[in-house]
Amino acid sequence: MGLRTPRPPPGGHTMIFDITGDLPDGSLLLEASAGTGKTWTIAGLAARLIAEYDVPIRQLLVITFSKAAASELRGRLHRRLVSVASEIERARTGTTPSDPVAALLASSMPEVAVTRLRRALDEFDSATVATIHSFCQEQLRSLGVLGDWDGEEVAADLRRLVTQCATDEYLRRYRDLQVPPLEARRALTVAQVAAPSRLGLVSDDREALSFHEAVRDDFDRRRREQRLLSFDDLPRRLRHLVTDSPVADLVRAELARRFPFVLVDEFQDTDPDQWEILKRCFVERDDASVILIGDPKQSIYGFRSADLGCYLEAARLMPRRTLGANHRSEPGIVNGVRELFGDVEVGPGIRVEPVDAARDGALGALELPDDPGARVWIRGMAAEQGEQSEKVVTADVVAHVKALLSHGTLRHDDTTRPLGPSDIAVLTRTRGRAVQLVHALQAAGVPATFLGGGSVLRSPAVRDWGAVLAAVAQPTRSRILEASLGDLLGVRLGDLLAAQDESPASQRIHELAARFAAGGVAGLVGAALDGAASRLVTLGDGERRLSDLRQIGDLLLTSRAGTVADLQAHLEDLTGLDDVPERLASDLPAVRVSTMHGAKGLEYPVVLLPQVSVTEVNLRGAIPYVDPSGTRVLHVGSRPGARDPLTDVVRGQAREEELRLLYVGLTRARHLAIAWHVMDRRAGSGPLTALLCRDRSATGLAREYHRYPGRFPFDPGLVHTSSARSAPWTAPQWEPPTAPDEPLQASVFGRDIDPDWRRTSYSGLTAPLHELAGDEPDLDLIPAELTGPLATPSPMNGLPAGARFGTVVHEVLEAVDWARHEEHLPVLVQERAAGLGLDPDRSTQLAAALSGVVTTPLGDLFDGALADLPVASRLPELDFDLPLGDRGAARTVADLAEAMAAHLPADDPLVEYPARLLATDVAVSRLTGMLTGSIDAVLQLPNGAFLVVDYKTNRVPTLPDQELMVGHYSRASMAQAMMQAHYPLQALLYCAALHRYLTWRLPGYSPETHLGGVGYLFVRGMIGPETPVVAGHRTGVFAWHPPAELSVAVSDVLGGGHG
């Protein structure tokens, strides 16, 4: 490829990465400190690979570590490709590109670059931008016989199964002991972590170790039996496949062939399984190029198994570069954070290294009265005996928020505006502390809202909805009581105690049951949420709780449940999803309160950090830590004491992660960051203590707080320290701005709506024609008398007709294993045809008739029958959504007809159809919006071509009182039926969809080679190997081979081209 990997200079200094320099041929580790443009760099690298090195977008793999991040990254990548292409085009008119990637390409290869970028945008659906778990799942599924996928269900929450395994093992061992060696609650708590974890279990307590190993073994056994996988099983299984399986070499080679270019975002959050996959499949190979992008200083997900050791190993193995400029924060933040951290390690050999601060003026500035100049502030205090320091900090946070709102001004260029509530974020260590601060701010008259920052499926709203549904399904006393304690019912304890007969909660449950019976899911959800707003908005986190309840309610509305039990099952299925981000609780101006973990990746003008004094270490359950060999293990024994060496190890490693969390919190700020530090007995191991006590003891630090303003080891121009007992600027009470009293008037809708834009399909395009259809059958095509094999009655005579019957036939043919049709068809027909009212004889008749369909030779389509094709060569129900031309370039149905007329040869059986279509009223219909559809089946033939198949249960015309026979399905009569129903239009839409799909998915795709034609199978005329042949064509099998250039032309017309 001609790319070079520059090596770092001697001396250990890491070179700055240049987005316009040489791209690596091989592997590269990019360290991206906070705010240095990680996502911008990834999108720029992708644009260069596509434009400069002609990398098909389907061969580019971009991995990140959450669904929300993958969705954002996918959007950012698409927008970057659009903007780079547009800037290159504008450069031809003399406009200088602002994007350095666009400038590079515009100066060297503008026309080629634009062509390649536009092609990538056309094929963007084939881009793989995914979480590591989604990537692993897709590869396991798509590797065929090389893979390790047996259709297991992926469930995010297996806690109930762990509880069952741990409870059973505990009872098996200790049910006859008066004093078991393990305390039950701790054993079950530890098991929730130890059983699903793949970390090695360690303990000095042999009984505890034996117990948890047995629980893990039982948990694994039951999951195999129940065919359940957790999300963490996906990378584990792929890791085994690429490292220890007999086909490991083949799988690694196949993955490198599929994705020769790999970009990995947030690499610092990788766990050992994920790193092993990346290393073995891409990093260690000569036929793959991989760039890992991350920041070890932001590795804060140890509780999710993220292992900083993986990053450190990659740093030893790979060349390294760094992104050198912070574009998020003003210089005062960048330099203040560097000054605060100094040379303190936040991990093994990891320090906050200097980066440049962007000075392009785009960030603006924050103006304050009595401005100390520094943009990182520490508010410190030494706690007095018995003092509730948390209350002091809370009061000081509220005072600062009000002072900032009263006096702060944001200046950008020549404009200024007051600092608003939404410009301020308060970031905490725990959710509970966040809720406290929301309460305090609201009590002081400051609007504040809690941002959950997590998945709504992990919120209490799921439990509340589950309890209510359980009570509606089975209204027992205990279930009603449990439901009444949640947010949905909102029954007060006093009302429950005062109830004499039927409790208010019981009444509500009966009302919800009645609403479900009358209005289905929508009726129940609406009734359950009724009144929730008025109850919850008065609570500190009420908006957050209400938003979560509504969001889960909206997810329940996606169910087609006919019973409450079905709705319960739907809710349980929802909890199996790994990530559904919580919505913003309110879009009104308000101070944003969030956990620091939830704020990662976000930015705010002002950030307040009131909970960074103490390192939180949970020693009550299973304890993950890194042992002296560098291996991450899980302690499952008894809780270590204060003097236990393990406690010191765990606290030390936890403090490093807390230091990284402090770094994340501080670097969310654009203009000002304020952290509070309380010196008390708990703060000795805290992250901020480690920075403030670099040159003194904790006692000395407390003395400096009493001696305010004190002396600290920081440049006061970079880090400003002050006492939390001193008030901020004196100011009048902040009052929220009031809206001007203006008369109400109706808003004006100024948008221009395109009335032709629609989501349509073949059925939608041809609906007016079907409504007006009244053509008389061509009697010349109906034989007066059929003899011999042609006179064989249709095997479906006597069976129902109509849409429901057609649906059943489609479902059975899609689900059956054609090669095992004799044993599968009777079972499938019995299952799927239950609603047709068929008696056993008719069910047997339908199964036999469909057996004839799959064994009928397909003649012109390929040398064999459906039953001769393996299941792996069939893609049933290929759904598609194709964008049509925009309003300025949209074509019409007439353009499709003209393309057919131009490309169909004179001897084509459907050559008359274009003229018929042009003569209809729909010919003038504009093709704008989205075209959706579903192809019954796409078959890969032995010669590598792909065949479109559609099953038709239509009855062709017969003479009065004439029994339907297979001979009625001659090629001529089927062609007439095709044209009368406008099936040629449907077939060509399907061919265009297949053309686009193969263009995106099949390397080396050629329409002439790979488009294998169309087979419309009129199943009432197919009877198996004995299906008669008329003039060289099997009855019931309408084979059509439209020219490949016609399929391409139709695709072009649909996209707004001229065909």
How would you class 1027 by CB atoms within 10 Å of its CB: exposed for 0-12, middle for 13-18, buried for 19 or more? Answer: buried
- Find out whether 602 and 668 touch, Cβ atoms under 8 Å: yes
Cα distance between residue 299 and residue 168, in whole Å: 37
Tens-digit pLDDT profile for residues 839-891:
888 889 999 999 999 999 998 899 899 999 988 889 988 999 888 876 666 68
Determine the Cα angle at 457 with ends 452 and 463, to 5°. Answer: 100
DSSP per position, 211-268: HHHHHHHHHHHHHHHHTEE-TTHHHHHHHHHHHTSTTHHHHHHHHHHH-SEEEESSGG
> Was 810 annotated as part of a binding site?
yes
- Find out whether 157 and 233 touch, Cβ atoms under 8 Å: no
Q: Is residue 735 part of a domain?
A: no
Residue 269's identity, in one-letter code, is D
Residue 265: strand pairing partners: none
By three-state DSSP, how is residue 347 classified?
Answer: strand
CATH code (residue 662): 3.40.50.300
Determine the Cα angle at 949 with ends 945 and 954, to 5°. Answer: 160
- Find out whether 418 and 405 touch, Cβ atoms under 8 Å: yes
- Find out whether 725 and 392 touch, Cβ atoms under 8 Å: yes
> Was 51 annotated as part of a binding site?
no
Q: Is residue 745 part of a domain?
A: no
Judgement on whether residues 717 and 763 belong to the same structural domain of the protein: no
Cα distance between residue 857 and residue 864, in whole Å: 5
pTM over 0.85: no
Judgement on whether residues 295 and 392 belong to the same structural domain of the protein: no
Cβ-Cβ contacts under 8 Å for 632 (sequence gap 6 or more): 199, 272, 307, 309, 624, 625, 626
Of the residues 228, 257, 279, the one at which a domain ends: 228
pLDDT of residue 957: 83
- Find out whether 964 and 1020 touch, Cβ atoms under 8 Å: yes
Q: Active-site positions?
A: 950
Helix (H) or strand (E) holding 202: strand 200-202
Cα distance between residue 995 and residue 882, in whole Å: 11
Phi and psi at 766, nearest 5°, equal -105, 5
Tens-digit pLDDT profile for residues 661-703:
999 999 999 999 999 988 777 666 678 888 887 655 555 555 6
Cα distance between residue 790 and residue 969, in whole Å: 9
Tens-digit pLDDT profile for residues 569-594:
888 877 766 567 777 766 788 999 99
Give 19-66 as a 3 state SS string: CCCCCCCCEEEEECCCCCCHHHHHHHHHHHHHHHHCCCHHHEEEEECC
Peptide bond into 793 cis (omega under 30): no
pLDDT of residue 818: 85
Phi and psi at 46, nearest 5°, equal -60, -45
Among 143-152, 695-704, 902-911, 922-931, the least confident range: 695-704
Distance from chain centroid for Cα 787: 61
Judgement on whether residues 384 and 505 belong to the same structural domain of the protein: no
Query: Is the pLDDT at 651 greater than 80, yes or no?
Result: yes
Task: Encode burial over 949-987: b for 16+ CB neighbours within 10 A, e otherwise.
Answer: bbbbbbbbbbeeeeebbbbbbbbebbbbbbbbbbbbbbb
- Token pair, residue 164, equals 């069952």
Q: Is residue 194 part of a domain?
A: yes
Give 900-932 as a 3 state SS string: HHHHCCCCCCCCCHHHHHHCCHHHHCEEEEEEE
Q: Is residue 3 part of a domain?
A: no
Cα distance between residue 107 and residue 880, in whole Å: 39
**Residue 145 vs residue 534, higher pLDDT:** 534
Name the percent of the chain lying above pLDDT 70: 89
> Was 950 annotated as part of a binding site?
yes
Of the residues 323, 355, 389, the one at which a domain ends: 323
Query: Is the pLDDT at 495 greater than 70, yes or no?
Result: no
Cα distance between residue 830 and residue 50, in whole Å: 52
pLDDT band at 3 (very low <50, low <70, confident <90, very high): very low
Distances (CA, A) of 535 to 225, 531, 545: 45, 7, 11
- Find out whether 469 and 479 touch, Cβ atoms under 8 Å: no
Phi and psi at 929, nearest 5°, equal 115, -130
Cα dihedral value 66, 72, 76, 78, nearest 10? 90
* Long-range contacts from 521-527, C-beta under 8 angstroms, 24+ separation: 521/556, 521/557, 521/559, 521/560, 521/561, 521/567, 522/557, 524/472, 524/564, 524/567, 525/553, 525/556, 525/557
Distances (CA, A) of 666 to 220, 264, 365, 619, 661: 42, 25, 17, 27, 9
- Domain encompassing residue 783: 758-797+867-1055
pLDDT of residue 504: 74
Cα distance between residue 135 and residue 128, in whole Å: 8
Residue 604: strand pairing partners: 669
pLDDT of residue 486: 83
> Was 32 annotated as part of a binding site?
yes
- Find out whether 978 and 917 touch, Cβ atoms under 8 Å: no
- Find out whether 293 and 264 touch, Cβ atoms under 8 Å: yes
Query: Is the pLDDT at 82 greater than 90, yes or no?
Result: yes
Tens-digit pLDDT profile for residues 133-155:
999 988 988 887 677 666 666 66
Judgement on whether residues 214 and 284 belong to the same structural domain of the protein: no
Judgement on whether residues 917 and 1045 belong to the same structural domain of the protein: yes
CATH code (residue 981): 3.90.320.10
- Token pair, residue 118, equals 């536009």
Tens-digit pLDDT profile for residues 390-423:
888 999 999 999 999 999 999 988 899 999 999 9
**Left if phi > 0, otherwise alpha if psi is -120 to 50, otherwise beta: which for 800?**
beta
Q: What is the DSSP letter of 456?
A: G
pLDDT of residue 1: 38
Judgement on whether residues 448 and 460 belong to the same structural domain of the protein: no
Query: Is the pLDDT at 778 greater than 80, yes or no?
Result: no
Among 783-787, 989-993, 996-1000, the least confident range: 783-787
Tens-digit pLDDT profile for residues 177-193:
999 999 999 999 999 99
Tens-digit pLDDT profile for residues 940-990:
999 999 999 999 998 888 887 789 999 999 999 999 999 999 999 999 999
CATH code (residue 501): 1.10.486.10
Q: Is residue 737 part of a domain?
A: no
pLDDT of residue 608: 98
- Find out whether 822 and 876 touch, Cβ atoms under 8 Å: no
> Was 39 annotated as part of a binding site?
yes
DSSP per position, 765-829: HHHHHHHH--PPP-GGGS-S---GGGGPBPTTTTS--SHHHHHHHHHHHHHS-GGGHHHHHHHHH
pLDDT band at 772 (very low <50, low <70, confident <90, very high): very low
Judgement on whether residues 565 and 694 belong to the same structural domain of the protein: no
Q: Is residue 810 part of a domain?
A: no
Judgement on whether residues 162 and 145 belong to the same structural domain of the protein: no
Judgement on whether residues 449 and 462 belong to the same structural domain of the protein: no
How many structural domains comprise the chain? 5
Helix (H) or strand (E) holding 1017: strand 1011-1018
Mean pLDDT of 477-486: 84
**Left if phi > 0, otherwise alpha if psi is -120 to 50, otherwise beta: which for 869?**
beta
Return the closest-CA partner of residue 457 out of 18, 159, 884. Answer: 159
Distances (CA, A) of 1042 to 287, 946, 997, 1008, 1052: 40, 13, 18, 11, 16
Cα distance between residue 107 and residue 97, in whole Å: 10
Judgement on whether residues 443 and 461 belong to the same structural domain of the protein: no
Q: Is residue 332 part of a domain?
A: no
Q: Is residue 770 part of a domain?
A: yes
- Token pair, residue 466, equals 């589950």
- Token pair, residue 788, equals 């011999």
**How do 929-940 and 758-760 pair as beta strands?**
parallel
> Was 35 annotated as part of a binding site?
yes
Cα distance between residue 276 and residue 328, in whole Å: 33
> Was 37 annotated as part of a binding site?
yes
> Was 936 annotated as part of a binding site?
yes
Judgement on whether residues 447 and 517 belong to the same structural domain of the protein: no
- Token pair, residue 729, equals 């600027």
pLDDT band at 7 (very low <50, low <70, confident <90, very high): very low
Judgement on whether residues 620 and 546 belong to the same structural domain of the protein: no
Axis crossing angle, helix 762-772 with helix 983-1001, rounded to the nearest 10: 180
